[in-house]
Amino acid sequence: MMEARLSLVTLGVADLARSKAFYEVMGFRPAFENEQIVFLPMGGLVLALFGKGDLDADMNRANTGTGHIALAHNTRSEAEVDTIIALAAKSGGSVLKAAHKADWGGYSGYFADPDGHAWEVAFNPYWTIDAEGRIDMATPQAQP
């Protein structure tokens, strides 16, 4: 049986140097890199940047463009959502959806990195984020 755990997220990118520079401006720091891949630690999880063609070859499949995914980053405040989305836009990304009060009671928006990978940035007032940035769903805050 597989453990219910995610270890690594790999993004297929068009220009490894450009993507690395973008994520460094966003606050990520490489733990390992070579000409093909960059590993960026994320508090127990790793974000990998890998050339699109190399990733397709590694998976032994052609990219059909059928996968739909959004990465997400939860913050401790609404202001932090605005700051991160603005930084992404200023650093080569694009705003997909401006930050706003969400129907579910929080505050969120979306940006895309230079390769179009979508990130949701959200403040959820019903979740607790510990000192290491992990979401604690065992003790959720009261919801409306």
Q: Which residues contact 32 (CB under 8 A, 6 or more apart)?
A: 38, 39
What is the predicted pLDDT for the residue at 132? Answer: 81
Are 103 and 122 in contact, with CB atoms under 8 Å apart?
no
pLDDT band at 143 (very low <50, low <70, confident <90, very high): low
For the record, the structure tokens of 1 come out as 């049986």
Mean pLDDT lowest among 20-34, 66-80, 86-100: 66-80
Topology of domain 1-61, CATH: 2,3-Dihydroxybiphenyl 1,2-Dioxygenase; domain 1 (3.10.180)
pTM of this prediction?
0.84
Q: Are strands 45-51 and 8-13 parallel, antiparallel or unpaired?
A: parallel
Say if residue 82's pLDDT is above 80.
Answer: yes
So what CATH class is 70-130? alpha beta
Helix (H) or strand (E) holding 72: strand 70-75
In this chain, the answer to whether the domains covering 1-61 and 70-130 adopt an identical fold is yes
Give the pLDDT confidence of 48-68 residue by residue, as tens digits: 999 998 998 888 888 777 667
